[in-house]
């Protein structure tokens, strides 16, 4: 990825995080800045990087450029609640994603059922399919809630569905991780890899359904299954992936994913208790969200953006340490305290610029 694109995406990611804290300084009841910051990170930055990575061209294609521009229009129209424009843009985004997915794979995702297809490719196609389906489902939610009112459910809101835009980023990062396990693709362990693929992809969908219907006990079981699959991915990756610099960042990313699973189980357990007070568990929810978005997803996106540049010259343990402090401590605190928000943005800017712009060389300083 060239310097101009890295500058664009790193700047947008930092702006996205800043919008997550802006309600502290400019409290506005009518608009949800959290919605905007999720869209800018997951859909605009993450979605565009996913499509760019899929095409693997030196320059951003016209299709990807159109997706990026329309995704910005989508984010701000949804933020300002100009829903007719959001729906029109959604149709265009869906077509662009499906165009790239079909060019890369096929119209019908038959590869999911083919044993000879590497698991990494299955995760890759699933990420694209999840992005296009997420766009379509969010549109249906807008139509239902704003115009038809056919279905009445407390959780059936756009703010619930916009979190689904992080799933494609998770899946493409898992694709990257499994691509480094090619040497065990032909062994008996591939069965474990297939089980991980189906557990994670189907588990996320089933979990989302249980969220909508507010079924807490099934959520616990599904989350436990997802946690087990993530731990298995960690063990496979740590044991069999080649010892390269990318492995440090992606291993750290899986660590964030494990934290996401643990905090998710804890949050559901607290919701099941009598006298549950949402305000008292808000801090746990924010740790869960930041560990996923700005921990796990950032690790994957940064490796994808520097895919052809490794090794890069930096002290990886120091960057990873700052990353964990930022994602699990400063960013969750920043939702409640202005001083922590400033420190979180500064720390995140340091991590982003370090990962995106550290020079590459033949020798890594700290593999």
Q: CA-to-CA distance for 223 and 265, rounded, in angstroms? A: 6
Would you say 269 and 285 are in contact if contact means Cβ atoms under 8 Å apart?
no
What radius of gyration, in Å, describes the C-alpha atoms of the chain? Answer: 20
Tell whether 343 is covered by a domain.
Answer: no
127, 172 Cβ separation under 8 angstroms = yes
Domain count, the chain: 1
The pLDDT of residue 364 is 42
Is the residue at 218 inside a domain? no
What dihedral do alpha carbons 223, 224, 226, 230 form, nearest 10°?
Answer: 130
**Rounded-to-integer distance, Cα 248 and Cα 176, Å:** 13
* DSSP class of 359: P
Peptide bond into 282 cis (omega under 30): no
Q: What are the helix (H) ranges across 241-337?
A: 245-271, 282-290, 298-305, 316-325, 331-334
Angle formed by the axes of helices 3-25 and 298-305, nearest 10°: 160
Q: Residue 232 domain-assigned?
A: no
- Residue 143 has which token pair? 């139509």
| Helix, strand or coil, per DSSP, at residue 312 | strand
Nearest Cα residue to 250 out of 353, 333, 179, 349: 179
Which residues, 6+ apart, have CB-to-CB distance to 280 below 8 Å? none
What is the DSSP track for 68-96? HHHHHHHHHHHHTT-HHHHHHHHHHHHHH
Counting beta carbons within 10 angstroms of the beta carbon of residue 20, is it exposed (0 to 12), middle (13 to 18) or buried (19 or more)? Answer: buried
Q: Which two tokens stand for residue 356?
A: 């995106």
CA nearest neighbour of 352 among 301, 307, 286, 291 = 301
Return the pLDDT at 365: 37
Residues 17 and 331 sit within 8 Å (Cβ to Cβ): yes
Q: Is residue 94 part of a domain?
A: yes
Is residue 195 domain-resident? Answer: no
Other C-beta atoms closer than 10 Å to the C-beta of 267 total 17
- Domain carrying residue 93: 32-177
Backbone angles phi, psi at 360, to 5 degrees: -100, 160
| Domain assignment present for 339 | no
**251: Cβ–Cβ under 8 A, 6 or more apart, which residues?**
234, 237, 238
Q: In the structure encoding, which two tokens stand for residue 111, read together?
A: 């590869």
SS3 call for 272: coil
Cis peptide upstream of residue 311 (ω within 30 degrees of 0): yes
Q: Which residues contact 147 (CB under 8 A, 6 or more apart)?
A: none
* pLDDT for the residue numbered 367: 41
Q: Quote the tokens at residue 201.
A: 């992809």
pLDDT per 10-residue tile (average), the chain, 367 residues: 86 90 76 83 93 90 96 93 95 97 93 89 95 92 90 78 82 90 67 91 88 83 91 88 77 91 86 76 86 88 78 71 92 89 92 81 44
124 domain residue, yes or no:
yes
User: Is residue 360 in a domain?
Assistant: no
């Amino acid at each position: 990825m060239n310097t101009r694109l890295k500058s664009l995406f790193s700047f947008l990611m930092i702006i996205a995080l800043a919008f997550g804290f802006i309600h502290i300084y400019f409290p506005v009841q009518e608009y949800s800045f959290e919605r905007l910051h999720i869209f800018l990170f997951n859909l605009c930055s993450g979605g565009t990087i996913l499509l760019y990575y899929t095409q693997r061209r030196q320059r951003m294609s016209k299709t990807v450029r159109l997706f990026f521009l329309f995704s910005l229009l989508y984010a701000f129209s949804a933020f300002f609640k100009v829903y007719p424009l959001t729906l029109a843009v959604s149709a265009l985004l869906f077509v662009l994603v499906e165009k790239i997915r079909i060019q890369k794979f096929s119209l019908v995702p038959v590869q999911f059922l083919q044993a000879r297809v590497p698991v990494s490719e299955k995760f890759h196609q699933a990420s694209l399919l999840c992005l296009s389906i997420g766009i379509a489902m969010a549109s249906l939610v807008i139509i239902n809630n704003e115009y038809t009112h056919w279905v009445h459910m407390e959780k059936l809101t756009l703010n619930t569905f916009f979190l689904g835009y992080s799933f494609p980023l998770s899946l493409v990062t898992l694709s990257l991780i499994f691509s480094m396990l090619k040497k065990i693709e032909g062994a008996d362990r591939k069965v474990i890899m297939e089980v991980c693929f189906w557990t994670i992809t189907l588990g996320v969908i089933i979990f989302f359904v249980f969220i909508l219907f507010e079924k807490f006990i099934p959520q616990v079981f599904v989350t436990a299954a997802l946690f087990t699959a993530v731990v298995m991915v960690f063990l496979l990756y740590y044991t069999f992936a080649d010892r390269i610099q990318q492995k440090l960042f992606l291993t750290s990313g899986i660590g964030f994913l494990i934290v996401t699973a643990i905090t998710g189980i804890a949050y559901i357990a607290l919701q099941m208790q009598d006298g549950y007070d949402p305000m008292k568990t808000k801090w746990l929810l924010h740790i869960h969200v930041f560990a996923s978005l700005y921990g796990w997803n950032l690790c994957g996106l940064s490796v994808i953006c520097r895919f052809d540049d490794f090794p890069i010259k930096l002290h990886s343990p120091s960057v990873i340490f700052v990353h964990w402090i930022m994602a699990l401590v400063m960013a969750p605190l920043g939702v409640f305290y202005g001083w922590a928000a400033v420190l979180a943005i500064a720390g995140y800017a340091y991590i982003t610029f370090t990962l995106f712009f550290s020079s590459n060389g033949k020798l890594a300083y700290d593999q």
